[in-house]
Amino acid sequence: MVASPFAVLRASRLCRGGLKSWAQLLGAPPLRLRGQITWAPVRMAATLILEPAGRCCWDEPVRIVVRGLAPEQPVTLRASLRDENGALFRAHARYRADAAGQLDLARAPALGGSFAGLEPMGLLWALEPEKPLVRLVKRDIRTPFAVELEVLDGHGPEAGRLLGRAVHERDFLPPGVRREPVRAGRVRATLFLPPGKGPFPGIIDLFGSGGGLCEYRASLLAGHGFAVLALAYFRFEDLPEYLNETHLEYFEEAVDFMLQHPKVKGPSVGLLGFSKGGDLCLSMASFLKGITATVLINACVANTIAPLHYKDMIIPNLGNDLGKLKITESGHFIFLDIWNNPVEEPNQLSLIPLEKAQGPFLFIVGMDDHNWKSEFYAHIASERLQAHGKERPQIICYPETGHCIDPPYFPLFKASMHAVVKKIVFYGGEPRAHSRAQVDAWQQIQMFFHKHLNGKKSVSHSKI
Per-residue pLDDT reduced to its tens digit, 115-125: 999 999 999 99
Residue 176: pLDDT band with limits 50, 70, 90: very high
Closest CA to 47 of 118, 121, 103, 116: 103
Calculate what percentage of the chain has a pLDDT beyond 90. Answer: 80
Residue 8 corresponds to which amino acid?
V
Q: What does each C-alpha distance from 333 to 226, 256, 327, 399 come to in angstroms? A: 37, 39, 5, 21
Q: What is the mean pLDDT of residues 422-438?
A: 94
Q: Which of 209, 275, 283, 374 is catalytic?
A: 275
* Whether the predicted pLDDT of 329 surpasses 90: no
The last residue of one of the domains, among 171, 193, 223, is: 171
Q: What pLDDT, in 10s, does the model give residues 243-274?
A: 999 999 999 999 999 999 999 999 999 999 99
More confident residue, 28 or 135: 135
| Whole-number Å distance between alpha carbons of 146 and 396 | 33
Give residue 456's pLDDT.
59
275 carries an active-site annotation: yes
Question: Is 97 in the same domain as 166?
Answer: yes
Q: What pLDDT, in 10s, does the model give residues 43-87?
A: 468 999 999 988 999 999 999 999 999 999 999 999 999 999 999
Q: What is the CATH number of the domain that holds 243?
A: 3.40.50.1820
* Whether the predicted pLDDT of 409 surpasses 80: yes
The last residue of one of the domains, among 108, 136, 171, is: 171
Question: Is 11 in the same domain as 99?
Answer: yes
Q: Which domain holds residue 230?
A: 178-454
Residue 311 corresponds to which amino acid?
K
**Is residue 138 domain-resident?**
yes
The last residue of one of the domains, among 171, 187, 213, is: 171
Give residue 12's pLDDT.
38
Question: Is 108 in the same domain as 231?
Answer: no
Q: What is the CATH number of the domain that holds 13?
A: 2.60.40.2240
Question: Is 329 in the same domain as 420?
Answer: yes
Question: Is 115 in the same domain as 188?
Answer: no
**Is residue 24 domain-resident?**
no
Q: Which of 370, 403, 434, 450 is catalytic?
A: 403
**Is residue 66 domain-resident?**
yes
Ramachandran bin of 107, using left for φ above 0, alpha for ψ from -120 to 50, beta for the remaining angles = alpha
* Whether the predicted pLDDT of 5 surpasses 90: no
* Whether the predicted pLDDT of 34 surpasses 50: no
**Is the separation of the CB atoms in 316 and 303 below 8 Å?**
yes
Question: Is 130 in the same domain as 206?
Answer: no
**Is residue 23 domain-resident?**
no
Mean confidence (pLDDT) of the chain: 89
Question: Is 162 in the same domain as 234?
Answer: no
In total, how many domains does the chain have? 2
Q: Which residues of 34-57 are buried (b: 16+ CB within 10 A; e: fewer)?
A: eeeeebeeeebebbbbbbebebbb
403 carries an active-site annotation: yes
Q: Which of 279, 369, 416, 450 is catalytic?
A: 369
